[in-house]
Chain A
Amino acid sequence: MSVKVSTTINGDAVDFVCQPDEPLLDVLRNRLGLTGAKEGCGTGDCGACSVILDGRLVCSCLVLGVEMEGKKLETVEGLADGPKLHPLQQQFIDGAALQCGICTPGFLIAAKALLDKNPDPSEEEIRFGLAGNLCRCTGYDKIVRAVQAAAKEMRGA
């Protein structure tokens, strides 16, 4: 039996129908065409499906679509301001902090969640903040540096 859900995604009111046991990740990708969040593991280990739900970083594979009623969701699609990329996105490109790109949306969202709460994180805090995101290409150093550069830019330093 399908359930109707009304929610807010990246500031826009969104209605959708889904099955009661359907993960939010599948709703985003298959029903709403928001394919930024990726399915890596489907069990909350890799972070590729990261989104920000009511201000908290979560894996969208571990949330049911039906739980979204009345909630506020931020996905990677909401990061850029029109054609202008978010500082994190631009720094990931400038610093070559990605290779295959599958993990990148998750890293961007996790980094945004971190900087929302802590605008000036230490390298250690960045590494802990991103420990729930797995990348099999870059080896993390470039990602950490891109986040440091974006944080600096966003602080206007």
Chain B
Amino acid sequence: MRYESPATTKDAVALLAKEKGQAFVLAGGTDLLVKMKAGMLEPDLVVDIKRIKGMKEIKKTASGFSIGAAVPCAALKENAALVKTWPGVVEGASLIGSKQVQGRCTMAGNLCNASPAADSVPGLVAAGAKVVIAGPRGTRKLAVEDVPAGVGRTVLKKGEFISAIELPKKPARSGDAYLRFIPRTEMDIAVVSAGVSLTLDAKGVITAARVALGAVAPTVLLVKEAAKAIIGSKLDDEAKARLTAAASAAARPIDDKRGTKEFRIDVAGVLARRAAELAYARAGGK
């Protein structure tokens, strides 16, 4: 295995594009190194992106926040402006692993690992986050929900890697939240999860919403029907019932040792509702 730690995005792309064997990007390594240890992956080349300028920076931009691909999740929680603006996004990212894992793991890595249960992804999808992808043909942007192609697979092409995650500017009277179900208090993988982001008008009526579900399909789902169910409402009981039903209807989970299909479908509705309640309160709704 060769290890490279290029100083520029261009060099990283060139290294990844040129490699004939198996090439992988190293940011936090909390998935990559575990897979290498297990013999699931045998890289010919590992490109460490942490020495590229800006990769470990959280920047406040005119259009929101730009989070470098190598920013460890622990650093998100330390950024007061980010926590204040996108608490749900930070909550999701903060639930990944232990303090030790938090010191290394990244949201870009969590997204590219493409687990349906990735804790940072539903919050990002709900927030309408985009990824900046660097590649041999320059950079392109994609919505976060369009990155995973299936379990463990992404749409990234050879030579491409995510260089940053962009969070939009948050409109006034907006709130977001992320909740997951696990059978203990922490250090576990989501059995079901939900991220909700919404915006209210001056009267507390929801004017825009995004609802995302995790661990109930091969990829994290953006559930437009669930958002539609609450837009135009003040999140009254009827709207909540419609949201719950729409989220459960969108869930198409598997049975496994962590939860049955039936249980996951039910909990998807419950968590979507509770996350919406939290997001609504955060947006200033009463």
Contacts and interface: CB of A to CB of B under 8 A. Distances in A.
Given A43-B34, A110-B99, A63 B104 contact: yes
Given A131-B187, A132-B97, A62 B48 contact: no
Contacts of B63: none
A81 interface: no
A64 B187 contact: no
Contacts of A43: 34, 37-38
Contacts of B43: 21
B286 interface: no
Interface residues of A, number: 30
Contacts, number: 86
A20 interface: yes
A23 B34 CA distance: 11
A21 B97 contact: no
A67 B98 contact: no
A45 B3 CA distance: 25
A66 B43 CA distance: 15
A67 B48 contact: yes
Contact of A44 (B34, B46, B48, B186): B34
Interface string B63-75: 0000000001010
Interface stretch (B25-33, B169-177, B277-285): B25-33
A132 B3 contact: no
Given A23-B33, A62-B101, A64-B3, 4 more contacts: A57-B99, A128-B99, A132-B97, A132-B98
* Top 6 A-B residue pairs of the complex, sorted by shortest distance between their CB atoms: A132-B98, A20-B3, A56-B103, A132-B100, A58-B103, A21-B1
